Amino acid sequence: AEISYIMVKPDGVQRGLVGDIISRFERKGYKMAALKLYQTPRDVAEEHYKDLASKPFYKDLVNYIVSGPVVCMVWEGKGVVATARKMIGATNPLASEPGTIRGDFAIEVGRNVIHGSDSPENGEREAGLWFKEGLVSWSQTMEPWLKE
């Protein structure tokens, strides 16, 4: 099944937004496949954002991600990667629509509260990077009420 790696960044944890964010994915109907509060080692943050290593903001971005605990999650379900990106909103919160997570909760691109994988391939890659211990396999009793 398709999975997305979703992460509440340090600003979202400090601001008490974790519950609201988890609740949005739960209520949408996606299945939680992993969850933890985590102080990110610098090498993991660097690996996660390695495609942006040449950008001028890369160092600030890595410093931001390691500046406090994050909440790491994997969510599973049909179309979860693209749908999570819609729920999260545009990278720059001033361009994010109201109703999206960034649109509702953020102002600056360097404090944009949440990460979501940008492709199913990166969903798999990032889930493996952040959950080296593996995901949780479980059956959701409400599944017949979510899937036709």
Max distance between CA atoms of the chain, in angstroms, equals 48
| Token reading at 74 | 């994997």
Complete edge-to-edge strand list for the sheet that includes strand 3-8: 31-38, 70-76, 3-8, 114-116
Q: Which residue has the tokens 């479980």?
A: 138
Calpha distance 95→101 (Å, rounded): 12
Q: Would you tell me how many other CB atoms lie within 10 Å of the CB of residue 142?
A: 9
Nearer to ligand GTP, 31 or 115 (CB): 115
Taking the complex as a whole, the smallest distance from the CB of residue 115 to ligand GTP amounts, in Å, to 4
Annotation-wise, does 85 bind a ligand?
yes
Residues at the site binding Mg ion, with contacts judged by CB under 5 A: 118
Tell me which of ligand GTP, Mg ion, none is bound by residue 61, counting a contact when its beta carbon lies within the kind-specific cut-off of 5 to 8 angstroms: ligand GTP
Selected catalytic residue, list 5, 113, 115, 123: 115
Taking the complex as a whole, the smallest distance from the CB of residue 55 to ligand GTP amounts, in Å, to 7
In the Cβ-directed half-sphere of 137, how many Cα atoms lie within 13 Å? 3
Active site residue 115: yes
Binding characters for ligand GTP, 40-79, by CB under 6 A (x = yes): ------------x----x--xx------------------
Q: Counting Cβ atoms within 10 Å, is residue 39 exposed (0-12), middle (13-18) or buried (19+)? A: exposed
Catalytic residues: 115
Residues of each annotated binding site for ATP? 9, 57, 85, 91, 102, 112
Residues of each annotated binding site? 9, 57, 85, 91, 102, 112
Chain positions contacting ligand GTP, by CB under 6 A: 52, 57, 60-61, 91, 109-110, 112, 115-116, 118
